[in-house]
Each structure stands twice: as C-alpha cells, then as structure tokens.
C-alpha cells in the first residue's frame, strides 16, 4: 500500500497551472525529490498534498483514503509537513516545541506522558539539540531552529513526510547528517522540495519535476537526472561533472 498517492491531480494558484493530470504513488522506503525553478509552485503542491488546500481536479489519497475525507487529527498521525519557515508566536522551550509533535497522538484533554518526552528527547539527540532542551526558542539561531523543526517532525512519527526545503539555514555538515537521518528508515515515504540538485542525486530515489506551463516529469532519479532534463527544468545551461564518487550537476 502506498503511503501517499495522487490521481489526475490539477493544481492551480492565481489562475496559473502548477501541474496537470499528475498521477503517482510515493511508497514506504522511497524518497522523492521535488525540483523546480523559483515560483514553480513547489510549496503550493506540497500544501495541496498535505490537504491544506483543495486541488482544481483529481484526488489525493493517504494510505488509500481520500485525504479530504479524513479527520485532521487522523491526517496528522499519518502525515507530517515541514514548512519552509517556522513561526514562534508564543515563548516556549526547545523540548516543549519538540513535544508539539506528539499532540496528534493525544486525546483532547490528555497531557504528554513520560513516553512522549522520551520520544521528543530522542529526536533532539538525533538533531544535536539535547543540550539546548531548556533553552527558549527565541534564543536559537536560524540553523538551530531548523533542526528543531525537523526534531518536532520526527517526534510526530508519521509514515509519510512532506518536507519543504529541509536544508534551509543548514551548513553542509548538518545538511548531510539530517538528510541521512530523515531518509534512513525504510518505513517512511518522503517527498521533499530541494534547490540543490546534487543533494537530490545523493538522497532521492525518485524525482518529481515541475516544468514550465504545468508540465510534470516523474520517475526514478537515475532516469531523470541528466543535463537535457535539467536545462529544460531551470532554463539555464547545465554541465555534468563525473568523478570516482559519482556525478555533480552545475550551471554552465
């Protein structure tokens, strides 16, 4: 059973077509990279797949159920969304923020228990923030706040994850560590938007490419990552550099 699938999906924003007749399935153990130029609609598509905005046509299925027929709490137990940027309207500690990931799994009047705290602390350890668990989030750097957002998502423990530019504000060390962490589980189905082609080449099994005029290409990474496709995607000449460790794609 697929983690997340779409059938005949049309996504439109401000009368502009983002994608037309998109059909695909994102299975457990797969990591899909969502690539496209600035303003191509990657965030809009992710929000549509998360059930936050209706498509113009077609269906989104979460573990075989239409996502719009499911209660939002049920959706949040199955699907986690990492937003492009974090907002912190209220003061809270790092641990309190990570614990927000447990809320979909709690009943209306239920408080977090010891097991929830252990799950949250394990996530903080995995992103290297355990020593900051009692710090207020407004004292964190941009990179630390991004790592906390990823820890909160890991605390949510969903089988499907949609990640909007997960490497925002992260240095190369943390980019590699956190993408390795996120893609390590064979029980997760992941779709993440990226601007770095070479991170997509390294961590993704499949690609979803948003071409101009609503055209979409999808398939295995090995079939789509080539100079001709990338030049069509970004409208700029590209070059492929090969070495003993693989390939790297750079603008010409």
pLDDT digits (tens, 9 = 90+) for 46-91: 999 999 999 999 999 999 999 999 999 999 999 999 999 877 777 8
CA–CA distances in Å: residue 37 to residues 57, 121, 195 = 23, 37, 8
CATH assignment of 4-251, among 3.40.50.720, 3.30.465.10, 3.50.50.60, 3.40.50.300: 3.40.50.300
Q: Which of 136, 4, 131 is nearest to 63 (CA)?
A: 4
CA distance 112 to 152: 14
Q: Which of 249, 8, 200 is nearest to 209 (CA)?
A: 200
CA distance 147 to 166: 9
Q: Is the pLDDT of residue 3 over 90?
A: yes
The pLDDT-based confidence of 212 (bands split at 50, 70, 90) is confident
Structure tokens at 172: 């190369």
């Amino acid at each position: 059973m697929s983690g997340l699938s779409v059938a005949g999906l049309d996504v439109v924003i401000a009368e502009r077509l983002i994608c037309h007749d998109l059909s695909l399935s994102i299975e457990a153990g797969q990591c899909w990279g969502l690539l496209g130029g600035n303003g191509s609609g990657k965030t809009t598509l992710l929000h549509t797949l998360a059930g936050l905005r209706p498509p113009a046509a077609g269906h989104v299925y979460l573990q075989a159920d239409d996502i719009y027929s499911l209660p939002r709490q049920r959706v949040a137990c199955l699907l986690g969304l990492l937003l492009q940027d974090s907002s912190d309207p209220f003061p809270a500690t790092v641990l309190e923020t990570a614990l927000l990931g447990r809320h979909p799994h709690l009943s209306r009047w239920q408080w977090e228990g010891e097991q929830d705290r252990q799950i949250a602390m394990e996530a903080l350890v995995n992103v290297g923030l355990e020593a900051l668990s009692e710090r207020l989030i407004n004292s964190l750097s941009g990179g630390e706040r991004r790592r906390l957002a990823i820890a909160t998502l890991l605390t949510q423990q969903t089988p499907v994850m949609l990640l909007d530019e997960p490497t925002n504000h992260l240095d190369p060390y943390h980019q590699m560590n956190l993408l390795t962490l996120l893609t390590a589980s064979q029980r997760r189905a992941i779709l993440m938007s990226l601007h770095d082609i070479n991170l997509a080449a390294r961590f993704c099994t499949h690609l979803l490419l948003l071409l101009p005029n609503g055209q979409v290409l999808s398939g295995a990474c090995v079939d789509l990552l080539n100079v001709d496709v990338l030049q069509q995607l970004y409208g700029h000449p590209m070059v492929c550099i090969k070495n003993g460790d693989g390939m790297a794609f750079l603008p010409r």
